[in-house]
Amino acid sequence: MSGVQHREVTADDDGMRLDRWFARHFPQLGFARLQKLIRNGEVKVDKAKVQTSTRISEGQTVRIPPIDDPETVRPFKVNEEDVRYLKDLILYEDDDLYVFNKPHGLAVQGGSGTTRHLDGLLKNLPNKAGEAPRLVHRLDRDTSGCLVVAKTAAAAKHFGSVFRSRSARKIYWAIVAGNPTPRQGEISCFLAKQVTEDGEQMVVVRNGAKGAVHSSTYYSTTDTASRRFAWVTLKPVTGRTHQLRVHMAQLGTPIIDDPRYFNIENWQAAPGLGEGLHLHARRIALPLRNGKKIDISAPLPPHMRQSFDALGFDPDRYDAQNADPEDGA
């Protein structure tokens, strides 16, 4: 690639870190080389100097220097083992998108100390134009289940709009400590981000507080195991960071094995439970570009299946496609 390029940031790249933007659009450019180009002032955003961590916004223009010299080019070689791994996770696929069953413990994007993540693995499934598939929404690292990934820029724009307009119907399953009171209802509050030694934490704040955003979730108790545990179905209306985890803790019934928001002192778990956050993106329904709709369900991850068995919950009690418990509420 010769000559200087100028590219406008699109809506589906809005808010992305600059280094991740380059990894998506110029996977042949090594990170060390990118750092050097940035230090030398050869990469700019709206004519201003930047850092690898700079976040870019829709409509901004990125200056890309010539990157065709042998020192720069790092041909990307598809890892067949990663291809097989990803293909085993596919719940649904068409010309526009994948729906993956994201495993518990796999990060969606990279971060401090995170080298293996879904966004990086997706480079192994390039489309016909050689572009990596694009994330259109997120799940926490320890949340399993349905994750939508677009195959092209046009598909990413469509599905990004679907999620922003809340046209996607998302259903989560969780096991919580205690029994929610009342058994079903809506949790509505304002949340703000708080930085701690362990990373970002969301806290409930008053309306008007700095950084406050509104959050809303509908919940329904599907089954209980005495008064100590409940299987809860959750329908988020908004999509805030850690929203479901904070909401269940706010209700007084935190999600089992939540490392950040489980707040019951002297808690003793029941024998036989699986280990790990008990939150699963069970089902997603959304409109396709051709006007049709898909409705996809993901089986429980092993640690939650173990806990369902230990507590006597039957995940097959409800047909996930037609009769989730909240549908009759």
- Please report which confidence band the pLDDT of residue 251 belongs to, taking 50, 70 and 90 as the band edges: very high
Per-residue pLDDT of 42-93, as tens digits, reads 999 999 999 988 999 988 999 998 876 545 555 567 889 999 999 999 999 9
Give me the mean pLDDT over the 286-308 stretch: 96
Question: What are residue 287's phi and psi, to 5 degrees?
Answer: -80, 140
Give yes or no for a contact between 35 and 50, defined as CB atoms under 8 angstroms apart.
no
pLDDT of 96 over the 60 cut: yes
CB atoms within 10 A of CB 51: 12
C-alpha neighbours within 13 Å on the C-beta side of residue 10: 15
Residue 30 scores a pLDDT above 80: no
Strands 169-177 vs 229-236: parallel, antiparallel or unpaired: antiparallel
Question: Does residue 242 contact residue 231 with C-beta atoms inside 8 Å?
Answer: no
User: What percent of the chain has pLDDT above 70?
Assistant: 91
Sheet containing strand 5-8, edge to edge, reads 5-8, 61-64, 44-45, 48-49
Higher per-residue confidence, 109 vs 293: 293
Q: Highest mean pLDDT range out of 24-38, 66-80, 108-122, 200-214? A: 200-214
Given a contact cutoff of 8 angstroms between Cβ atoms, the answer to whether 128 and 113 are in contact is no
Which has the higher per-residue pLDDT, 310 or 116? 310
Q: What is the mean pLDDT of residues 174-179?
A: 97
C-beta separation of 72 from 33 below 8 A: yes
Q: Is 140 a catalytic residue?
A: yes
Q: What pLDDT is attached to residue 71?
A: 52
Contact call for residues 253 and 260 (beta carbons, < 8 A):
no
pLDDT of residue 321: 52
Stated pTM of the model:
0.79
Specify the pLDDT at position 320.
54
Of 12, 19, 140, 142, the active-site residue reads 140
Confidence grade of residue 328 (pLDDT, cut at 50, 70, 90): very low
Amino acid, single-letter form, for residue 211:
G
pLDDT digits (tens, 9 = 90+) for 185-243: 999 999 999 887 767 789 999 999 999 999 999 999 999 998 999 999 999 999 999 99
